[in-house]
């Protein structure tokens, strides 16, 4: 059932600085508190915790496919066990600002036959008259795999395939469809995302990142099959080079890939964007085709409140939008809220740096 989330119910918060518009505030008469950070934008949704927003334009509106954070009572650790999501809500919005529609749960972990625990950041795609929801979840052996579920409507509900995508592993699937109709999946994430456990090509619980002076582990990319249900080839490394043509190194923590891949194209340039993880930047690199290599350019979002940073980029009504998350509502790193702001490309192809706080 489709439910319109009214301002009075969801308490949609103010979005400050986004095209000069403002959403109604959650507080009737808020008192200034100089000790609290001043955020550039306010959460889009406040009745549930949402994170990792994957945004796409389907059927003339923006559909958002976020993680649904819950308080599972699990102690925080570097494996991310405290991120114990169990379902995905799907949202849409037609104007910014505007009313958010919560289409309810599009997929439950209990309906995925091969799943064990922990649904993490999803993505979605459209092709062949249908919609595809891609999701990472640990299988019954506690190994992250990537699954796919299908629907005839962008809001779902989605029916999962009986098995994960063959040859898939790790987390954070992001699917990009190029102008020629070819689709590509980018994926991978370090630490709790288990990418380092696949460094030799096979799953190894003792797998580690390379030494500091060696090339950093990279995200993976694979062209998708025509039916969008499997890989059309073995995954390749996404190579990120510095401006001298050298690979980024493991020690380059403020530049190297950690998780949260995304791809968009503007003026013939392919932008591979990602999170640097433990240094909390959103970074970007530019190439001339979906496979790369990509040349590192810099960062486009400074660290947000909270440990994780994860995003998507979509063009809507002639403006590029950045969807991201932070922890403004809870102050807890595993209970996040999604936000949106404008993203600006300069004439030379660089992206303007965004500060998530107001000085």
What string of H, E and C letters represents the secondary structure of 109-152?
A: HHHCCCEEEEECCCEEEEECCEEEEEEEEEECCCCEEEEEEEEC
Report the alpha-carbon distance of residue 341 to residue 240 in Å, rounded: 26
pLDDT at 1 over 80: no
pLDDT tens column, 62-118: 999 999 999 999 999 999 999 999 999 999 999 987 889 999 999 999 999 999 999
Which pLDDT score, from 0 to 100, does residue 35 have?
72
Which pLDDT score, from 0 to 100, does residue 10 have?
37
Which pLDDT score, from 0 to 100, does residue 220 have?
98
Confidence of residue 33 (pLDDT cuts 50, 70, 90): low
Confidence of residue 22 (pLDDT cuts 50, 70, 90): very low
Which pLDDT score, from 0 to 100, does residue 21 have?
37
Question: Residue 51 belongs to a domain with what CATH number?
Answer: 2.115.10.20
Is 348 part of any domain? no
Is 112 part of any domain? yes
The pTM of this model reads 0.90
Is 350 part of any domain? no
Report the alpha-carbon distance of residue 134 to residue 126 in Å, rounded: 11
Which pLDDT score, from 0 to 100, does residue 96 have?
87
Domain count, the chain: 1
| Average of per-residue pLDDT values in the chain | 92
Q: Which of 156, 63, 150, 147 is nearest to 104 (CA)?
A: 156
Is 357 part of any domain? no
Is 229 part of any domain? yes
Is 355 part of any domain? no
User: Where in the sequence is the domain holding 217, given as residue range(s)?
Assistant: 3-343
Which pLDDT score, from 0 to 100, does residue 98 have?
82
Alpha carbon of residue 287 to chain centroid? 20
pLDDT tens column, 233-253: 999 999 999 999 999 999 999
Is 44 part of any domain? yes
66 touches 89 (CB < 8 A): yes
What string of H, E and C letters represents the secondary structure of 65-96?
A: EEEEECCCCCCCCCCCCCCCCCEEEEEEECCC
Which pLDDT score, from 0 to 100, does residue 31 have?
54
Active site residues: 52, 259
Report the alpha-carbon distance of residue 201 to residue 57 in Å, rounded: 35
Confidence of residue 359 (pLDDT cuts 50, 70, 90): confident
pLDDT tens column, 291-330: 999 999 999 999 999 999 999 999 999 999 999 999 999 9
Is 38 part of any domain? yes
């Amino acid at each position: 059932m489709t439910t319109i989330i009214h301002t009075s119910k969801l308490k949609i918060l103010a979005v400050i600085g986004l095209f000069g518009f403002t959403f109604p505030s959650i507080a009737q008469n808020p008192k200034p508190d100089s000790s609290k950070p001043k955020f550039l934008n306010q959460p889009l949704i406040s009745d549930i915790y949402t994170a990792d927003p994957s945004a796409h334009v389907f059927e003339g509106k923006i559909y958002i496919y976020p993680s649904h954070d819950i308080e599972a009572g699990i102690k925080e650790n570097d494996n991310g066990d405290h991120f114990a999501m169990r379902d995905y809500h799907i949202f849409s919005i037609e104007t910014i600002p505007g009313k958010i529609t919560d289409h309810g749960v599009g997929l439950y972990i209990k309906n995925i036959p091969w799943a064990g625990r922990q649904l993490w950041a999803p993505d979605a795609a459209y092709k062949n008259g249908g919609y595809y929801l891609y999701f990472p979840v640990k299988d019954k052996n506690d190994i992250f795999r990537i699954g796919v579920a299908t629907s005839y409507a962008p809001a779902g509900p989605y029916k999962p395939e009986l098995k994960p995508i063959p040859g898939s592993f790790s987390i954070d699937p992001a699917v990009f469809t190029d102008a020629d109709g070819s689709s590509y999946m980018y994926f991978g994430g370090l630490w709790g995302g288990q990418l380092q456990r696949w460094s030799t090509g096979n799953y190894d619980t003792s797998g580690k990142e390379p030494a500091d002076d060696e090339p950093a582990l990279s995200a993976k990319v694979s062209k998708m099959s025509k039916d969008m249900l499997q890989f059309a080839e073995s995954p390749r490394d996404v190579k990120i080079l510095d401006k001298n043509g050298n690979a980024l190194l493991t020690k380059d923590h403020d530049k190297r890939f950690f998780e949260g891949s995304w791809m968009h194209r503007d003026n013939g340039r392919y932008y591979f964007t990602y999170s640097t993880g433990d240094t909390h930047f959103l970074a970007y690199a530019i190439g001339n085709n979906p496979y790369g290599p990509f040349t590192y350019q810099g960062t486009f979002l400074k660290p947000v409140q909270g440990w994780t940073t994860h995003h998507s980029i979509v063009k809507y009504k002639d403006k590029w939008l950045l969807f991201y998350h932070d922890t403004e509502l809870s102050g807890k790193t595993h209970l996040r809220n999604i936000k949106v702001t404008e993203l600006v490309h300069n004439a030379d192809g660089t992206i303007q740096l965004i500060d998530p706080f107001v000085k």
